[in-house]
Amino acid sequence: MTCLGTAQTIGWAASYYIPAVLAAPMAASFGLSTVWVFGAFSMAMIVSAIIGPWAGARIDRIGGRGVLMLSNLVFAAGLALLAVAPSPAVLFLGWAVVGLGMGMGLYEAAFAALAGIYGRAARGPITGITLIAGFASTVGWPLSGLMLATWGWREACLGWALIHLGVALPLNALLPKGTARITASAPAEPEGPPPPRLALCLLAFVFAATWFNSTAMAAHLPGLLQASGASPAVSIAAGALIGPAQVAARMIEFGLLRRFHPLASARLAAFSHPIAAICLTTFGGPAAYAFAILHGAGNGILTIAKGTLPLALFGAAGYGARLGWLNAPARVLQAAAPLLFGAALTGWGASAIWLTAAIGLMATLALFFLRRN
């Protein structure tokens, strides 16, 4: 679990979290606006949505070790392309290759690998790797910034490529081979009837809605808090609490909440964002810290629910492919979230929070329509 969690930390740090640090110098070197680089990153997320179902089905058949190791090679190739890109066209190609790596090597693939190893008992290991990888931004942003300041953005991309090859690849190679279970208490699960289509649609909507909110807040939280009356310093300090809140909530999930069905913790987590929005609109700037903590805690548990809910509701058989399809709409909405919520924030100001609050409330209601069986 530690090895896979560390490899996941590298995967997230070297993909999802590098635009925040490297997008501006990357764009400037080509005489482009940063919008173009973030557009390329959005394209990468769409590519990951397309490749995800294939990667999940592949893991169902042969296990996760080979797919995750391949993802490290793909990540390294994409980052190397970014490092040597002579033109914006090659830059976009590099981001597309990074998107392939994201679809093959981030949480969905790791969750599918753990389901192949542990079966229905994978809830604990899934929570464990998200606890470790929850520090991806804590590690990734400073390390990207250090490489940028020391060498430049191209060398930073190359540095991450080498970290994939020298650290993440060997760590993923330590996973059990194929789909072999590591305990006799987790036998191969027989094929059952297909899950109800309505349940699949509801769960796909929940994932898409909650990831839209998560990405919108990641992109615009300081601006939203300032529009609500918080000072710039308070907005930044409140935003810094999201990471610790996510990790703390995952620790609670790992301990107290694991006694309950994943539906219970998912419903509580989905409702946390609407509650946070009510606090912010009622009390304004002084509620910035409470908003960040509530939103971060809910987001932390919902990340785990992406892996544990499909496993608990539908079983381990066909889990990888099913997880890929369930998360494909979420990836697409992730790509659109910064633009859509940014437009709402520009047009409505602090009232834009009601958009994500309504989306969070609909996700909560959808979870109440799901049943344990």
Q: 123: which 2 tokens?
A: 């809830």
Question: Topology of 2-173 in CATH?
Answer: Growth Hormone; Chain: A; (1.20.1250)
Contact present, 324 and 104 (Cβ < 8 Å): no
Residue 174 has pLDDT above 60, yes or no: yes
The Cβ of residue 223 has, within 10 Å, a number of other Cβ atoms equal to: 18
Query: In the chain, pLDDT over 90 holds for what percent of residues?
Result: 46
CATH 1.20.1250.20 residue ranges of the chain are: 2-173, 197-369
Class for domain 197-369, per CATH?
mainly alpha
- One DSSP character per residue, 207-262 reads HHHHHHHHHHHHHHHHHHHHHTT--HHHHHHHHTTHHHHHHHHHHHHHHTGGGS-H
Give the per-residue pLDDT at 70. 96
Give the per-residue pLDDT at 221. 83
Q: pLDDT (tens digit, 9 = 90+) per residue, 5-24? A: 999 999 998 998 888 788 88
Give the per-residue pLDDT at 274. 96
- Which is nearest to 355 in space by CA: 205, 236, 204, 209? 209
**Residues near 297 by Cβ (< 8 Å), separated by ≥ 6?**
245, 246, 248, 249, 269, 272
pLDDT level of residue 161 (50, 70, 90 thresholds): very high
Q: How far apart are CA 248 and CA 127, in angstroms?
A: 12
**Residues near 177 by Cβ (< 8 Å), separated by ≥ 6?**
63, 65
- Which is nearest to 75 in space by CA: 148, 19, 30, 16? 16
Give Cα 9 to chain centroid, integer Å. 11
Question: Per mean pLDDT, which range of 88-92, 169-173, 186-190, 339-343 is the poorest?
Answer: 186-190
Q: 197: which 2 tokens?
A: 């289509």
pLDDT level of residue 346 (50, 70, 90 thresholds): confident
Q: Which amino acid is at 113?
A: A
Q: pLDDT (tens digit, 9 = 90+) per residue, 42-52? A: 899 899 989 98
Q: pLDDT (tens digit, 9 = 90+) per residue, 64-76? A: 899 999 999 999 9
Contact present, 42 and 210 (Cβ < 8 Å): no
Give the per-residue pLDDT at 192. 60
Which H or E element spans position 134? none
Q: How far apart are CA 299 and CA 326, in angstroms?
A: 18
Q: Which residue has the tokens 């599918």?
A: 112
Q: How far apart are CA 79 and CA 354, in angstroms?
A: 38
Give the per-residue pLDDT at 157. 96
Give the per-residue pLDDT at 187. 47
Question: Per mean pLDDT, which range of 100-114, 155-169, 242-256, 346-360 is the poorest?
Answer: 242-256
Is this prediction's pTM over 0.85?
A: no
Number of residues that this document lists for the chain: 373
Q: pLDDT (tens digit, 9 = 90+) per residue, 300-341? A: 899 888 888 898 888 888 888 898 889 889 888 888 888 888
pLDDT level of residue 180 (50, 70, 90 thresholds): very low
Give the per-residue pLDDT at 182. 41
Handedness of CA 158, 19, 326, 245 (dihedral sign): positive
Question: Per mean pLDDT, which range of 45-59, 180-194, 235-249, 346-360 is the poorest?
Answer: 180-194
Long-range contacts of 271-278 (CB under 8 A, 24+ apart): 271/298, 271/360, 271/361, 271/364, 272/297, 272/298, 273/210, 273/213, 273/298, 273/299, 273/356, 273/357, 273/360, 274/357, 274/358, 274/360, 274/361, 274/364, 277/353, 277/354, 277/356, 277/357, 277/360, 278/357
Average pLDDT, the chain: 88
- Which is nearest to 327 in space by CA: 49, 15, 11? 49
Instruction: Reduce the DSSP state of residue 304 to 3 states and report it.
Output: helix
Residue 373 has pLDDT above 70, yes or no: no
Q: pLDDT (tens digit, 9 = 90+) per residue, 184-232? A: 444 455 556 677 889 999 999 999 999 999 888 877 888 889 899 988 8
Q: How far apart are CA 11 and CA 15, in angstroms?
A: 6
